[in-house]
Amino acid sequence: MVHWVSDNEDSDKFEWDSDGEEEETSFNLAGAGSSAPASRNIDVRVANGYGKAGPSASSVQEYVAMGFPEEMVLKAMKDNGDDGAESLVELLLTYKALGNDPSVDNGSTSGCAPQAAADSDDDILENWDSEDAAERNKGPAFDESDDEDFLREMSQKDEKVDSLVNMGFPEDEAIMAVTRCGQDASIAVLVDSIYASQTAGDGYYGNSSDHEDNSYGGRKKGRPGNKRKRKSFGGQSQGSRGPLDGSNDEPMPLPNPMIGFNLPNGSMSVKRSLPGQAIGPPYFYYENVALAPKGVWTTISRFLYDIQPEFVDSKFFCAAARKRGYIHNLPLVNRSALRPIPPKTIFEAFPRTKKWWPSWDPRRQFNCLQTCVASAKLLERIRLALTNSVDPPPQRVQKYVLEECRKWNLAWVGLNKVAPLEPDEMEFLLGFPKDHTRGISRTERYRSLGNSFQVDTVAYHLSVLKDMFPHGMNVLSLFSGIGGAEVALHRLGIRMNNVISVEKSEVNRTILKSWWDQTQTGTLIEISDVQTLTSEKIESYIRRIGGFDLVIGGSPCNNLAGSNRHHRDGLEGEHSALFYHYFRILDAVKSIMERL
């Protein structure tokens, strides 16, 4: 919902504030989130035989923190030499699986007891140094290119670990997933690997039957007699599905026309049966761009209980296109459109433009509304091109002008004069009340509006909730933006008793709070960082307000939109990966409400 990039945006000026801190320039072998300084790179190199000295205390402790005995780590480092970090972890796992604990001398008759626990790391490292001094004095065990490759490899690995940890997984499980699947595995594959390991009871993590999943990667001791087991994504077994990264998936076919399951005053086009674990309440509603890279919607669908997306172009609800996909568990019958019905053509929405609209401009609807607008220089170039041409202008001039008008949603406001839509005109097209975003800069208004829901479209889907919750409802709004979901519910006449809103942008939070104070009597709680919405906080909110009736939102899509040619990374993108937070939180809500 928040910070969407429009389908037709070509500007490279769009900026996104990261949900985390600045990307670390150093890498962290033990996982993401560490505050260790960049000098730890030296420790990692040494720990793997890449330096002239033995392993440092900090590098040894990295692996000790992962659950390996200290002497096992030292032995593995010695045996591993310069084979790299992944090889070292595999060697440690082999030792653990075989019971090869170096604290007991294997085959040795020396009878030496294990070194006392009170010995310092420095003493152990000193013994290790003296024992292998001759070998290490032979010369460096690496060249510069090998070292750079190793550092680059570990940096990529740590980025994956960082993403998993930020999604709520324990650090050790994140590290092991990357080790098992490889650093090139997608986030979806890594997530599935962790869940598969938890469900199967991987020996390294202990007996999973003693635990219960209560969040996305969070675990706690299970209650006596509680035999609930988490199914793999989509409710299917791990072995019955292809990889979740979309590598073996064909692009999900998009309907043409993109009318969803039905339109107002239209007949039902789809009948569906939801899997048992997807049936509400709580109801959920997730939105993202329809024209996403290959495999993205298949992956999203698998995470969200294999529910078929509903693809809708908002041009059937208003005078501007907005192609979006929606996955939800809402009923499909008894939908109703907002009143009054909004205009569906440019001339109906803005009658004054008809006077100046040339006959050779066939547009009757705008393209997807963007987060930025055309420059004054472009508008002047268009004016000069038309002024210096005959009427009607030659085909090449018409083609140039029409391309720019479609690209930037320009409207005719005078003779040979085009202009971008004003923010209040965008508010009108998107279904927001007049002056909803007024009070902030024009740039911020365009950005916030371009990233929002189209209210009439969303309200049509949510309209089925009105009769179901006559006394109001509790809503968990994720990536709320400027409150498109809240405005839709309000315009439907659905009272919001409590709304927990998660939104990073302070500007957007201010807009939502201002609107809420003017129109609502319920309670609004705003959260700035989705990562802070842990299972514990979710449970506390559920206990306080009695549960959530609707979980609604759409994760940022600027790694999915076709206009973002430089960072169209799918669900592996820095921002679109926040989808996994949506799933994590929805899964936690359902699990906690089932338990309470």
Q: Cα-Cα-Cα-Cα dihedral of 462, 463, 469, 471, to 10°?
A: 110
Distance CA 313, CA 318 (A): 10
Would you state the pLDDT for residue 523? 97
Would you state the pLDDT for residue 366? 98
Single out the catalytic residue among 318, 368, 372, 557.
557
Domain 276-341+431-595 classification at class level: alpha beta
139, burial (CB in 10 Å: exposed 0-12, middle 13-18, buried 19+): exposed
Average pLDDT over residues 207-212: 36
Which of 128-132, 152-156, 170-174, 584-588 has the largest mean confidence? 584-588
Would you state the pLDDT for residue 107? 36
Lowest-confidence region among 66-75, 228-237, 462-471: 228-237
Residue 388: partners with Cβ closer than 8 Å, 6 or more residues away: none
Q: Which residue has the higher pLDDT, 142 or 161?
A: 161
Q: Which residue has the higher pLDDT, 457 or 596?
A: 457
Has 557 been annotated as catalytic?
A: yes
Q: Per residue in 444-464, pLDDT tens?
A: 999 999 999 999 999 999 999
Residue pair 570/303 in contact (Cβ under 8 Å)? The answer is no
Instruction: Please indicate, yes or no, whether the overall pTM of this predicted structure exceeds 0.75.
Output: no
Residue 314 has pLDDT above 70, yes or no: yes
Average pLDDT over residues 492-507: 97
Distance CA 470, CA 563 (A): 42
Would you state the pLDDT for residue 293? 85
Q: Give the sheet arrangement for strand 323-328, strand by strand.
A: 310-313, 323-328, 283-289, 550-553, 473-478, 496-502, 523-527
Q: Which residue has the higher pLDDT, 69 or 463?
A: 463
Average pLDDT over residues 321-327: 96
Q: Per residue in 17-44, pLDDT tens?
A: 333 333 333 333 333 333 333 333 333 3
Residue-by-residue DSSP string for 150-202: HHHHHHHHHHHHHHHHHTT--HHHHHHHHHHH-TTS-HHHHHHHHHHHHHHT-
Residue 510 has pLDDT above 50, yes or no: yes
Would you state the pLDDT for residue 142? 42
Q: Per residue in 554-582, pLDDT tens?
A: 866 443 444 444 444 445 545 556 888 99
For the chain, give the longest Cα–Cα distance: 102
**331, 556, 343, 579: which is closest to 462 by C-alpha?**
331
Banded pLDDT at 489 (limits 50, 70, 90): very high
Would you state the pLDDT for residue 127? 45
Q: Which residue has the higher pLDDT, 89 or 74?
A: 74
Domain ranges of the chain: 40-156, 276-341+431-595, 346-430
Residue pair 85/44 in contact (Cβ under 8 Å)? The answer is yes
Q: Token digits for 271?
A: 């009948």
